[in-house]
Chain A
Amino acid sequence: MEVKERYKKNIGTITEAEQESLKTKKVFVAGLGGLGGYICEMLARMGVGHIKAIDCDVFEESNLNRQIFSTEKSLGRAKTEMAKKRLKEINSSISLDIKNERLEEINSRELINGCDIIIDALDSIDTRLILASAAKDMNIKMVHGAICGWYGQVSVIFPEDNTLKRIYGDKKGKGQEKSIGNPPFTPALVASLEVAEAVKILIGRESSLRNKILLIDTLLQDYEVVDI
């Protein structure tokens, strides 16, 4: 089968058969903020066939520094609404299931049901632990990413792992980002790395970040993979 012109520049990086297989895959993106916007943008451009995403916020002025779906015109509008509009414009051949909903213990399993992979783009530790627990129950692999100022981290979690518990211990709520903010470049960087890991898992290639955490420091440009 001939690969669509729009995906030609993916080929070589992945094979034509791998590109074709992405059409059948469904990805759940938890959150449409700094990470989630870039993640959905890249999944749509990559040609992943089905994107499911949730968020329950509206765009605020303070989102404009980093959230790719936010524009001055979108302030006050639901992040889900702007995501749908943008993703349809990028790739009309993919299916979108984008819901204005908060991820909670009670709806977590239903939300991720039927997805091939979960990508963490959340902004709270508690919600991440809920998502990881649902992913374990539903036997779905998850790519974790988080940001904080100049810093970020990425890990790949299989259902039998307990990586997030090991990363966060008994921590709750927000991490250190509450005091040092989030600039534009760390979400874009961490989102890219999360999508790279997700694509590898979707096409059946090996991830190098299972039971490990990639720690990113853009201040020192220091990147380290640590066993976890």
Chain B
Amino acid sequence: MIEVRLFATFRENRGKKIQVDAKDGNEILEKIDIKKEDVAIFLINGRDGSLDTPLKDEDIVSIFPPVGGG
């Protein structure tokens, strides 16, 4: 299972930390219903990641939306 940490608006109706069974970032987004174009930052184990990078059990993925108001 992949630990998915969500931030800001992505937490709404999903929670802050969830476990998802997925092979890569694309599958995570699909399973938790987040559009690719709504993602500003995607980190794998705290480092810049690609949605296509294969994930392994116990990886930690953090997903952030763009926050731009002022």
Q: Which residues of A contact B (CB under 8 A)?
A: 31, 33-36, 120-125, 128, 145-149, 151-153, 166-169, 171, 173-177, 180, 182, 187, 215, 217, 219-220, 222, 224, 226-228
B residues with CB within 8 A of A: 7-9, 11, 16, 38, 40-41, 43, 46, 48, 62, 64-70
Chain B residue with the shortest CB-CB distance to A177: B69
Which one, B11, B43, B66, contacts A168 given CB within 8 A?
Answer: B66
Q: Which residues of B contact A122 (CB under 8 A)?
A: 70
Contact present for A176 and B70 (CB under 8 Å) = no
11 contacts between A and B (CB under 8 A): A145-B70, A146-B69, A147-B67, A151-B8, A174-B68, A175-B68, A176-B38, A176-B68, A187-B70, A217-B16, A219-B11
Name the prevailing secondary structure of the A interface residues: mixed
- The reply to whether B16 and A175 form a contact with Cβ atoms under 8 Å apart is no
Task: State whether A148 touches B9 (Cβ < 8 A).
Answer: yes
- Picked from A148, A215, A224, the residue with its CB within 8 Å of the CB of B68 is A148
Query: B16 → chain A, closest Cβ, in Å?
Result: 6
Task: Identify the closest chain A residue to B37 (Cβ).
Answer: A171
Using Cβ atoms and an 8 Å threshold, which residues of chain A touch B43?
226
Q: Are A147 and B11 in contact, CB atoms less than 8 angstroms apart?
A: no
Cα of A173 to Cα of B67 in the assembled complex, Å: 11
Per CB-CB distance, the 9 closest pairs between chain A and chain B, nearest first, are A175-B68, A177-B69, A175-B66, A123-B70, A151-B8, A148-B67, A147-B69, A171-B66, A125-B68
A151 and B69 alpha carbons, distance in the complex (Å) = 10
A167 and B40 contacting across the interface, CB-CB below 8 Å: yes
> Within 8 Å CB of B9, what residues of A?
148-149, 151, 176, 180
Given A180-B9, A220-B11, A222-B16, A166-B70 contact (CB < 8 Å):
no
Nearest CB on B from A85, distance (A)? 21
**Contact partner, A36, options B8, B46, B48, B70, Cβ 8 Å:** B70
> Which residue of B11, B48, B68 contacts A166 across the interface (Cβ within 8 Å)?
B48
Residue on B nearest A181 in the bound complex, by CB: B69
Q: What B residues does A177 contact at CB under 8 A?
A: 67-69
Q: B69 near A123 (CB under 8 angstroms)?
A: yes
Partner of B16, one of A128, A147, A169, A220: A220
